[in-house]
Structure 1
Amino acid sequence: MRDYIEGLPKVELHVHIEGTLEPELMFRLAERNGITLPYADVSQVKAAYEFDDLQSFLDLYYQGACVLLEEQDFYDLTWAYLQRCQADNVRHTEIFFDPQTHTERGVGFEKVIRGIARACLDGERQLGVTSELILCFLRHLSEESAIDTLAAAMPWREHFIGVGLDSAEAGNPPEKFNRVFAEAREVGLHLVAHAGEEGPADYIRQALDELYVERIDHGVRCTEDPALVARLRDSGVPLTVCPLSNVKLRVFDTIEQHNLPRLLHEGLNITINSDDPAYFGGYMNANFLAVAEAFDLDRATIAGFSRNAIDAAFISDERRRALHAAVDEVDT
């Protein structure tokens, strides 16, 4: 199964570029920018990657982001991730980025978007990995901050295709961001949102009914509400599930306890993704392999994850056909 997974073309729909910051690169950027980290070496950073919940992860996540200051830093970060995509046979990726994480520290939006977008262009030219960007709002901040962020981003509209909602779910329901998502919808942006990871199943319903999202990021707690499960099945709304992330953040204690088999049994539209792989110990191949081994999944189910992601991606019909053809080649 490992060889099959490694050879299978994949599409990633749920990855935070700041969450791909490997400790080695963190230290290199800190040295380049004259930043002193609260860790003596890489091993100390890795030792800190034991999380009790989403918030304990976010505290370290935002701390690590402090090394990202210049356009070249964002380029190097994105380029390193795209190289991992090539290594894992990820043919297309839709990357989340969190501008507020950086603008709140005084880093100009233009540095963030220019660095990431330039790397994405080089990734397609040099690595054969296509990509799109999705601007995410930090839900622990105010909606006014999100509205200001969207306004600041509009001069760079050509570089991103959608908006999302991430950060701490607890106490920050999707309905808090009705206005900014309405503004994004009016200008033709795609809409996604994290819901039903740390937050309850009702947050998934809010994301659908209040924000009109096209995909649900995570969504694993939908099984708490049978009516919601039926709705997701009937509508085919994709769930961008991140198995190793769910275990690392204690949504499930072990991969064997993950509810992926139930999601599949219920006929939901499931994709597999890495989320914040530098912190959670696994890029795409590792996530595919983890669920394949834990649940003894067959090749058809594994390939189905790729096909679901291809269909759920915000890409042209031509690109979609090409990606399906690439999967077909592996399955013949």
Structure 2
Amino acid sequence: MTDLDVFITGLPKAELHLHIEGSLEPELMFALARRNGVALAYPDVEAVRAAYAFSNLQDFLDIYYAGAAVLLTARDFHDLAMAYFDRAAADGVVHAEIMFDPQTHTARGVPFCAVIEGLVSAMAEAKTRHGMTSALIMCFLRHLSEADAFAVLEEAGPWLPKITAVGLDSSELGHPPQKFARVFAAAREHGLKLVAHAGEEGPPEYVIAALDVLHVDRIDHGNRALEDAGLVARLVASGMTLTVCPLSNLKLCVVGNLIDHPIDAMLREGLKATVNSDDPAYFGGYVADNYRAVAKARSLTRDDLAQLARNSFTGSFLPSAAIAANCARLDAYLGS
């Protein structure tokens, strides 16, 4: 391991764009399948990994939803989340804001309470075991209807004190942000923060709609915002955080090669970019792997990496005192 690798691993950081279902490693998938008596379409772990050759977002989503079929009980969701938290702690993550997709599970007959009870119990264990803070982002599946999203928001009612934000994920093309304008407004009335995937496969106009129609607090991905100079200037002026996922961008062919990744261009423009792992079990790396990959491909400096880490704290939904404490922790690391 090089000095830069060691620096990246130890760099205190937050992860703001992580789909917990996307952290389901094949080994755990098979273990849960055996525990729950679920038949998988693949004979072994190697066959699952061989299937991780995606040409677009939908190719990935097809296997992502199939893998989620092994998640049935609160214990399953607890084990899934703890596997992520243990791995993230080893990568220097001190705060994680994890997304979950209740519709993926309730549509299969899994009770909403089983999903969230398992996640919340793992969050408490991560705090005890690693000192890691965390928050939940409940995502609506954009290929489904707004009525379905409203039903999820209603079902989440008793659990809303445990949920920090709502998000919008799944197939972006053909499902613009304005499709979910009313449910996002309702979520805001409940006091929830708002995030949305925009500008990954969708055009810059989807980023604009996320800002103007959904009134989001953070943009997930946002790569294609760079195609619109006026939009870039607006994002810079507002200090809007972008949760960028380099290895995801590569795996889903958003960029053809990490040499062409725009992460350093974002920093040069003054955009508040962060680095995250998205669906690490499927895209070949957790958050430190993403830092290392773009550091190598784009020759990022330690100052660049430190800025990305600082952005991850200031772009989080933590209280201001916790943000300040984490930034002080980062400063201490950089000065050591």
Q: Determine the structure 1 residue equivalent to 2:40.
A: 37
The count of aligned residue pairs is: 332
Q: Determine the structure 2 residue equivalent to 1:179.
A: 182
Question: Gapped runs of 5+ residues in structure 2?
Answer: none
C-alpha deviation, 1:262, in angstroms: 2.0
Is contact 2:195-2:216 (8 Å) kept? yes
Percent of residue pairs identical: 55
> Is 2:120 aligned against 1:117?
yes
User: For residues 99 and 93 of structure 2, what CA distance do their matches in structure 1 show?
Assistant: 16
C-alpha deviation, 1:105, in angstroms: 0.7
Is contact 2:78-2:119 (8 Å) kept? yes
Q: Determine the structure 1 residue equivalent to 2:57.
A: 54
> Is 2:204 aligned against 1:198?
no
Q: Determine the structure 2 residue equivalent to 1:152.
A: 155
Give the alignment of 1:7-156 within 5 angstroms: 7-156=10-159
Q: Deviation above 2 Å: which 4+ runs of structure 1?
A: none
User: For residues 170 and 118 of structure 2, what CA distance do their matches in structure 1 show?
Assistant: 22
Amino acid at match of 2:240: V
C-alpha deviation, 1:69, in angstroms: 0.4
User: For residues 90 and 104 of structure 2, what CA distance do their matches in structure 1 show?
Assistant: 28
Give the alignment of 1:199-238 within 5 angstroms: 199-238=202-241
> Is 2:310 aligned against 1:307?
yes
User: For residues 331 and 116 of structure 1, what CA distance do their matches in structure 2 show?
Assistant: 32
User: For residues 321 and 227 of structure 1, what CA distance do their matches in structure 2 show?
Assistant: 31
- For residues 188-212 of structure 1, the C-alpha deviation after alignment (integer angstroms, 9 at most, x for no partner) is 1000000000111100000000000
Q: Aligned to 1:292, what secondary structure does the other structure show?
A: helix
Q: Determine the structure 2 residue equivalent to 1:320.
A: 323
Is contact 2:261-2:298 (8 Å) kept? no
Is contact 2:8-2:288 (8 Å) kept? yes
- Structure 1, 316-325 or 294-303: larger mean CA deviation: 316-325
Q: Aligned to 2:185, what secondary structure does the other structure show?
A: helix
Amino acid at match of 1:319: A
Q: Aligned to 1:163, what secondary structure does the other structure show?
A: strand
Q: TM-score, normalized by length of structure 1?
A: 0.99
Is contact 1:19-1:277 (8 Å) kept? yes
User: For residues 263 and 315 of structure 2, what CA distance do their matches in structure 1 show?
Assistant: 18
Is contact 1:85-1:129 (8 Å) kept? no
C-alpha deviation, 1:222, in angstroms: 0.5
Amino acid at match of 2:265: R
Q: TM-score, normalized by length of structure 2?
A: 0.98
Q: Once superposed, what is the RMSD of the aligned Cα atoms? A: 0.7
Question: Gapped runs of 5+ residues in structure 1?
Answer: none
